[in-house]
Amino acid sequence: MGVVGIVFDEQARVLLVEHVFHPQIPWGLPGGWIDRNEEPSEGVARELKEELELVVQAEQIILVEKAFNNHIDLAFLCNASDRKIGEVSNELLGYKWYALDELPALKQFHIKAIHRAFHYIERK
C-alpha cells in the first residue's frame, strides 16, 4: 500500500517534492510505502518526517485508488502546525510549494487528490 500526504500552506499552495527515482514524472506528493503492520495514517506521517523532516498529522483520507494488480494508493490531507521543511532525504532532489494553477506534470492520482483536498478545505 502506498500513501501520500497533501499539505497546504497559508496561501493554499500545495507541497510537492521532486523524486530522484521517478525521472519521467519527477514531481509529486510526498509519501511512500507503509511498513508491515503500520497504520496508513502513521505511515504517511513517518514518510513526511523521513523525507522532509516535516511533522504532520493525517486528518482525512481524500482519495483511495487501486493502481495496479493489488496495489492500493491512499491520499491523506495532512496538517502541519509548523510548515518548516528540514533536510531533504536522498530520495528527493527538492521541494516547492505550488499554487493549483501552477502545478507541474503530475500523476493523475496526485492531481485528483490535490483537487479533492483543496475542495475539502474550502468547505471547512
> What number of CA atoms fall less than 13 Å from residue 113's CA on the CB side?
30
Chain-centroid distance of CA 39 in Å reads: 16
**Which grid cell is 58?**
493525517
Mean pLDDT by 10 residues, the chain (124 residues): 96 96 94 95 97 96 91 96 90 96 97 97 83
Coil/strand/helix, residue 120: helix
47 within 8 A of 31, measured Cβ to Cβ = yes
Q: Which amino acid is at 105?
A: A
Which residues, in sequence order, are bridge partners of residue 89? none
pTM of the model: 0.95
